[in-house]
Amino acid sequence: MDFRISDEQRMLDDSAAKFLAGQFTFDLYRKQLDAGVAFDEKRWAAIAELGWLALPFPESVGGFGGTLVDIQLIARRLGERLCTDPWLACAVLPGKALEFAGAPAALALLEKIVSGETRAALGAYEAASHYEPAVIATRATAAAAGGVTLNGTKSVVFGAEYAQVYLVTARDEKGDALLVAVPANAAGVSASHYRVLDGSRASEIMLANATLPADAVLARGEAALEAVRRALDVANAAVCADLLGAVGAMLQKTQDYARTRKQFGVAIGTFQVIQHYLVDMFIEVQQSESLVWMAGIRGDTAERNEREKAVSTTKAYLARAAVQVAQKAVQIHGGIGVTEELDIGHYFRRVTHYAQMFGDRDAHVQRYMRVTQ
């Protein structure tokens, strides 16, 4: 049993930390937030240069064949730096759905994501589906020459504003699930974009008689659902790593604050209640880290039960623990903890967002129960 990362992973991690420290400051984050923007073309090119678009995917599509832990190492640094660039939303999540769908059309599109030519976004949810990808109201009816006509709305699609292609789920007249590639500029396709809690962007994708050719259907039936489920599990493992990075940063900042902020003539870190809060936070971060790596190793599998158990254990735990750490961090900062001006409140919103994106504690406890009971 060995929890050490390899030298290669250490280099990946160090370079991610360095890149983000230089390229994604809190100042830049605030400017983007105020401008209603969560993407920068030059920085996306830099991310591609770093190899982050290739890392998660197999060599057969031009990727580097990286592991789930590799993905988590990058995700942790993103959380640590409050980075809203849509690497997870526009590369990792849709890319994994394509990889696991596996059909030639899917892999051809994945190659374009890996090369940086295309960004995609996965529309797997609707307003009434509450985390369950199998709940699909969007309808696919047969069109000419094996094509499909789509009607429905995919909801809270993260990163869609910056994507050229949407991967959407629909059900056909037989009730089979379909995974369909929909170009953002196709006829019958419109989107409304908005900010989400962590400062990034999401969209409603409206499909009104949007007709797509046969080769836009990337997967059908159980294979389509499993590709989406497995991609979401990868995303959740990354989300947990992002949460770890964020609460790690919040803990560090709160320790620093407790050491330097003085009241009653002494550092507030000398007050026992504050000390015990910090210790509680520290312990939760340590335990969270243990499960993040467990999910990275045990969740990196096609075997559904093992994967879901590992990912749900971790997400259920982090969803509680990270939120508690974030809440205490704000509390210890006092008044400034709830201002826009300080970064702590922004980390707080990110933690809330990530703790329930792709499944909250309740959803994952219940999935854990389904798998283990």
Partner 1 sequence: MNLEFTEAELAFQREVRAWFEQHVPAALKARAAIGVMSDKAGQHGWEEILGSKGWLAVGWPAQHGGPGWTATQRYIFDLERARAGAPPATPFGISMVGPVIYTFGTPDQKAQHLPGIVNGKVHWCQGYSEPNSGSDLASLKTAAVRDGDHYVVNGQKIWTTQGHWADWCFCLVRTDSTVKQQLGISFLLIDMKTPGIEIRPIHSIDGHHHLNEVYFTDVRVPVANLVGSEGMGWTIAKFLLTHERTTIAGVADSKREIERLRGMLQATKQTDANGKEGSRWDDAFARRRVAELEIELAALEYTNFRTVAATEEGKPLGAESSGLKIKGTELQQAITQAMVELGGHLSLTWNAPQPVGSEAFNHAHERYNFLRAATIYGGTNEIQKNVIAKMLLGL
| Helix runs in 6-128, H state only | 7-23, 26-35, 41-50, 68-80, 87, 93-101, 104-115
Binding status of residue 311 toward partner 1 by CB under 8 A: no
Q: What number of other Cβ atoms are within 10 A of residue 356's Cβ?
A: 19
Tokens read off for 129: 């589906």
* Sign of CA pseudo-dihedral 239, 240, 245, 249: positive
Residues 31-70 that bind partner 1 (CB under 8 A): 69
Rounded to a whole number of angstroms, the minimum distance from the CB of residue 64 to partner 1 is 17
Rounded to a whole number of angstroms, the minimum distance from the CB of residue 68 to partner 1 is 10
Q: Which of 317, 348, 354, 358 binds partner 1 (CB under 8 A)?
A: 317
User: For residue 260, with 0-12 CB atoms within 10 Å meaning exposed, 13-18 middle and 19 or more buried, which class applies?
Assistant: exposed
Cβ–Cβ < 8 Å for 242, 351: no
Q: Which of 203, 236, 313, 356 binds partner 1 (CB under 8 A)?
A: 313
Report the distance separating Cα 197 and Cα 164, nearest Å.
23
For the chain, state the CA radius of gyration: 21
Cβ–Cβ < 8 Å for 218, 181: yes
Rounded to a whole number of angstroms, the minimum distance from the CB of residue 216 to partner 1 is 39
Residues 282-301 that bind partner 1 (CB under 8 A): 282-283, 286-288, 290-291, 293-294, 296-298
Report the distance separating Cα 202 and Cα 313, nearest Å.
27
Binding status of residue 347 toward partner 1 by CB under 8 A: no
Binding status of residue 373 toward partner 1 by CB under 8 A: yes
Pick the closer one to partner 1 by CB: 283 or 336: 283
Rounded (5°) CA angle 256-258-264: 140
Pick the closer one to partner 1 by CB: 126 or 300: 300
Which of 166, 243, 160, 199 lies closest to 38, judged by CA? 199
Q: Which of 60, 209, 275, 331 binds partner 1 (CB under 8 A)?
A: 275
Cβ–Cβ < 8 Å for 254, 206: no
Binding status of residue 280 toward partner 1 by CB under 8 A: yes
Binding status of residue 270 toward partner 1 by CB under 8 A: yes
Number of residues in contact with partner 1 under rule CB under 8 A: 41
Q: What number of other Cβ atoms are within 10 A of residue 146's Cβ?
A: 10
Tokens read off for 68: 């789930």
Pick the closer one to partner 1 by CB: 74 or 120: 74
Binding status of residue 365 toward partner 1 by CB under 8 A: yes
Binding status of residue 4 toward partner 1 by CB under 8 A: yes
Instruction: List 150's β-bridge partners, or say none.
Output: 140, 210
Rounded to a whole number of angstroms, the minimum distance from the CB of residue 52 to partner 1 is 20
Rounded to a whole number of angstroms, the minimum distance from the CB of residue 236 to partner 1 is 14
Pick the closer one to partner 1 by CB: 144 or 273: 273
Rounded to a whole number of angstroms, the minimum distance from the CB of residue 279 to partner 1 is 4
Residues 243-262 that bind partner 1 (CB under 8 A): 255, 258-259
What letter would DSSP give residue 53? T
SS3 of 275, please?
A: helix
Rounded to a whole number of angstroms, the minimum distance from the CB of residue 373 to partner 1 is 5
Report the distance separating Cα 163 and Cα 48, nearest Å.
15
Which region, judged by CB under 8 A, interacts with partner 1, from 150-158, 173-181, 240-248, 272-280? 272-280
Which region, judged by CB under 8 A, interacts with partner 1, from 3-11, 93-101, 170-178, 222-230? 3-11
Q: Which of 231, 278, 323, 329 binds partner 1 (CB under 8 A)?
A: 278
Tokens read off for 65: 């064949």
Which region, judged by CB under 8 A, interacts with partner 1, from 22-30, 78-86, 281-289, 339-347? 281-289
Q: How far is CA 24 from the centre of its chain?
A: 18
Binding site for partner 1 (CB under 8 A): 1-6, 69, 255, 258-259, 267, 269-270, 272, 275-276, 278-280, 282-283, 286-288, 290-291, 293-294, 296-298, 313, 316-317, 321, 365-366, 368-369, 372-373
